[in-house]
Amino acid sequence: MISFLRGPLIALAALALLTPAFAEDAKPDFAIKTKSIEATVLLDGPIKADPALAADCLAEGKRWAEKARADADRERKQTPDMFRDGAWTVERKYDVRSLVKDRYVSIVRSDYISAGGAHPNADVDTILWDKTANKRISIRPFFTETADGGPTMTALRQAVVAALKTEKRKRDIPEVPGADWAKPIEPKLTKIGAVTLAPSTEPGNSSGLTFHYPPDAIGPHAEGDYVGFVPWDKLKPYLTPEGAAIFGGARPRGDED
């Protein structure tokens, strides 16, 4: 799970983030090992328990790994000296974050990439899966409108940026005059950030939305990843009946760690 990084632990936690995504004794659900690359894909247990969801995630993971292999093979032919210290290492992990109304599954997809650069890279994205329809969806059905720059997305962006400012203060990140770290966060469904339904103190409900940002997305690499939480009560004016039905309760205390 993507974690918050705190104060003096930022550098250490950032390093921990950029390590292989799964335990040594975990068996990958898909793997490639060549002279150019070691690529692995790992699915969380609850994902593997749902055949349709598992098939969807694994198919995506395989495509990602195969593309990485092709890139590594091409790079090895062009610049073999870059592989003197070993092959590229890439890992993708799918983790369930929440299950809401026994229907909506939020998944965090974490990538680790070590390709001979100055440091390994990490990326994060999210998936919202509708178990009833057996397909990926967006948060669009939960809101009355989601037009680019419209009332909903504008309000969401303001709330996300405010939450991230709080997170930066918690980490003692100083404000730099003229720096606009929030610029990449746009009031657009596809540009506001990777989103999940947050768990709740009320079983079966969601307490709001969490937005996930990898290292380098909204600050220097050393700051690591960020998660911004928007409580559901700030979403109320913009929710459809379907959206209103899935929210309730508060964010569990442990979810902030």
Please name each of the domains of the chain with its CATH number.
30-137 (3.30.565.40), 140-255 (3.90.640.20)
Q: Is 129 exposed, middle or buried (0-12, 13-18, 19+ CB in 10 A)?
A: buried
pLDDT digits (tens, 9 = 90+) for 111-155: 999 987 767 899 999 999 999 999 999 999 999 999 999 999 999
The two three-digit tokens of residue 32, written as one number: 């490639």
* Mean pLDDT confidence for 238-251: 97
3 state SS of 39: strand
pLDDT given for residue 3 in this prediction? 35
Residue type, 208: G
- The pLDDT tens digits of the residues spanning 167-215 come to 999 999 988 777 799 999 999 999 999 999 999 999 999 999 999 999 9
83-102 average pLDDT score: 96
What is the CB neighbour count within 10 angstroms for residue 238?
Answer: 18
Q: How far apart are CA 249 and CA 204, in angstroms?
A: 10
Can you tell me the distance from the alpha carbon of 208 to that of 220, in angstroms, rounded to the nearest whole number? 27
Query: How does pLDDT run across 207-225, given as a tens digit for each residue?
Result: 999 999 999 999 988 899 9
Q: pLDDT of 51-64, one tens digit each? A: 999 999 999 999 99
- Taking alpha carbons only, the member of 183, 177, 253, 249 closest to residue 213 is 183
pLDDT of residue 257: 67
Using CA atoms, how far apart are residues 193 and 255, in angstroms rounded to an integer? 19
The amino acid at residue 30 is F
pLDDT at 203: 95
Computed over its alpha carbons, how large is the radius of gyration of the chain? 19
- Is the overall model pTM greater than 0.75, yes or no? yes
Over residues 17-76, the pLDDT tens digits come to: 444 544 455 799 999 999 999 999 999 999 999 999 999 999 999 999 999 999 999 999
* pLDDT attached to residue 23: 44
| Calpha distance 67→32 (Å, rounded) | 11
